[in-house]
Amino acid sequence: MNVLTSITVLGLLIFFHELGHFLAAILQGISVDGFSIGFGPSILKKQYKNITYSLRAFPLGGFVSFPDEGNSEINKDNPNLLKNRPIIQRIIVISAGVIANLLLAYLILIFNVSTVGIPYDPEPGILILAVQPDKPASQSGLEAGDKILKIKGNELGAGDEAVSQLVTEIQKTQLEGIPITIQRDDTYIDLYVTPKNINGKGTIGAQLQPNIRKETYKTKNIPELFNFANKEFFSLLIKTIEGYKGLITNFASTAQQLSGPVKIVEIGAQLSEQGGTGILLFAALISINLAVLNSLPLPLLDGGQLVFTLIEGLRGKPIPEKIQIAITQSSFLLLVGLSVVLIIRDTSQLLVIQKLFNQ
């Protein structure tokens, strides 16, 4: 059921992304002939007012199609065709999907804060959310729910700064035991954790977060509600952008952290176990990720189409079709190749973990 929930959330987020493109076109009087959620063969199809609406077999994607895309029977001079509209109108249509996902994420955070409340400030220490089997953290005796209070005898602070301090210490230490002090329930325990070297950096195989109390408090007023939601939204957005930036500046390390569709569904299933709050957090995170991903300047994505359109605006004429096709095909191979690698890797990891738990 949790896996089904995460797939449903993904489908809804993709629906809102495509709905952004669709409404931006329709409201400007631009002709649209198709609205599809998913790829592959159609499961459901309905035509209404010359627009074909379809639900397809693979829900991890979608598209809005326009009648000037490869249709030889269309009047090429029709002013309602997308390619015949002013550059600014086309930019609005291209950007609308990203804007829709960002707006949706922001509204989800507003709703979550207004119903669940605001968390208290982080307390000293770092909370262990999860520990991977047969990794240094697990081998040292660390367990999910433990709180790391000290490292090398020095007390950790609170919040993201404490997490960054611990991560930095782990990354620069390899094959050498690090003394830490943890709190487990009401007991204080001294442990040694020995980071493993991966791509020149130490790692222990644990998911960390600031030590935040589970309790929340209701917002006192509207400004407090929006101030906290703004802070959370921009924090998630900046971290997501930095993650994609790392693909360029530090690909070898960042690629290890990339998640494909299988891993995303697994994460969504885990968060949905926390109830409505977990599902909302997952939806906001993925919605922001969809926005940032689609902003990348790759021809198959919104960012690539935006680059083509801006270049056309500067040149006064479109980029030659042969060049666009060559770039698009290269981009397609890159994205498909990366997706296949991520799916195989994530599926393999899930099978290994499942085997370990079944032993």
For residue 181, the domain's CATH number is 2.30.42.10
- Is residue 146 in some structural domain? yes
224 and 278 both lie in a single domain = yes
- Is residue 82 in some structural domain? no
Q: Which of 18, 123, 161, 266 is catalytic?
A: 18
335 and 231 both lie in a single domain = yes
- Which amino acid makes up residue 33? D
Euclidean distance between CA atoms 81 and 37, whole angstroms: 22
Q: What is the pLDDT of residue 22?
A: 93
The DSSP string of 112-167 is HHHHH-EEPPPEEEEEEEEE-TTSHHHHHT--TT-EEEEETTEEP-BTHHHHHHHH
Euclidean distance between CA atoms 161 and 167, whole angstroms: 10
One-letter-per-residue 3-state SS of 300-313: CCHHHHHHHHHHHH
Is the CB of residue 82 less than 8 Å from the CB of residue 309?
no
CB atoms within 10 A of CB 269: 18
23: left (phi over 0), alpha (psi -120 to 50) or beta: alpha
In angstroms and rounded to an integer, the radius of gyration of the C-alpha atoms of the chain is: 24
Q: What is this structure's pTM?
A: 0.69
Of the residues 191, 212, 233, the one at which a domain ends: 212
Strand ranges in 1-155 using DSSP code E only, listed in sequence order: 34-48, 51-65, 118-119, 123-131, 147-151, 154-155
173 and 226 both lie in a single domain = no
Residue span of the structural domain in which 174 resides: 121-212
In terms of Cα–Cα distance, which of 244, 266, 264 is closest to 255? 244
Euclidean distance between CA atoms 85 and 27, whole angstroms: 13
145 and 186 both lie in a single domain = yes
325 and 261 both lie in a single domain = yes
226 and 208 both lie in a single domain = no
202 and 181 both lie in a single domain = yes
342 and 319 both lie in a single domain = yes
250 and 352 both lie in a single domain = yes
Q: What is the pLDDT of residue 93?
A: 93
- Is residue 189 in some structural domain? yes
- Is residue 198 in some structural domain? yes
Q: What is the pLDDT of residue 91?
A: 93
273 and 127 both lie in a single domain = no
Joined together, the tokens standing for residue 129 give 């959310």
Of the residues 182, 212, 242, the one at which a domain ends: 212
- Is residue 307 in some structural domain? yes
Of the residues 183, 212, 241, the one at which a domain ends: 212
249: left (phi over 0), alpha (psi -120 to 50) or beta: alpha
Q: What is the pLDDT of residue 19?
A: 92
Q: What is the pLDDT of residue 95?
A: 93
- Is residue 67 in some structural domain? no
307 and 170 both lie in a single domain = no
Q: How many domains does the chain have?
A: 2
Tally of helices (H runs) and strands (E runs) in the chain: 10, 12
- Is residue 76 in some structural domain? no
Q: What is the pLDDT of residue 28?
A: 92
Is the CB of residue 250 less than 8 Å from the CB of residue 201?
no
Q: Which residue reads 């599926």 in tokens? A: 347
Query: Quick check: is 321 catalytic?
Result: no
236 and 287 both lie in a single domain = yes
What is the mean pLDDT, run by run of 10 residues, along the chain of 359 residues?
A: 66 87 92 85 86 82 76 73 89 93 92 81 81 83 86 83 83 79 88 81 82 75 88 84 66 46 49 62 81 80 85 81 64 51 41 33
- Is residue 240 in some structural domain? yes
Q: Which residue reads 């998630």 in tokens? A: 236
